[in-house]
Amino acid sequence: MEPSNIFVCLMGMGTVFISLICIILLCQLMSFLCQKLEHTKSSSPPILPTAVAPDSIPNRQEFVAAVSCAIAEDLGEAVSGIRILSIKKL
């Protein structure tokens, strides 16, 4: 006996919706686990990067040249056409 078209459509749609519900439940479970792991990690003291003084940039002139070149390229002008007054760390 051959299954009817309605039965095949309903079984296909049911399979899809059950699969989507399982995916949603798995995503919620993983989110819950990740939040718990993050919470346990955040209880330990954070590791802070070492502070870098603004004047301690090695090869400062090369850095300024690279920044001015990138800005000039973005603006579509020559490097001599732009003027950088200061560079500050944000």
Matching residue, tokens 């995916």: 23
72, with CB counted inside 10 A (0-12, 13-18, 19+), is: middle
Helix residue ranges, H only, 1-90: 5-42, 60-75
Q: How do residues 14-62 score in pLDDT, each as one tens digit?
A: 999 999 999 999 999 999 999 888 777 665 555 555 545 556 677 878 8
Higher pLDDT among residues 74 and 89, named by residue = 74
> Global pTM?
0.43
Write down the pLDDT at residue 50.
Answer: 53
Non-local (6+) Cβ contacts of 71 within 8 A are 82, 84
The residue ranges of every structural domain in the chain are 1-42, 55-83
Q: What is the pLDDT of residue 80?
A: 82
pLDDT at 45 (0 to 100)? 54
CB 83 within 8 A of CB 71: no
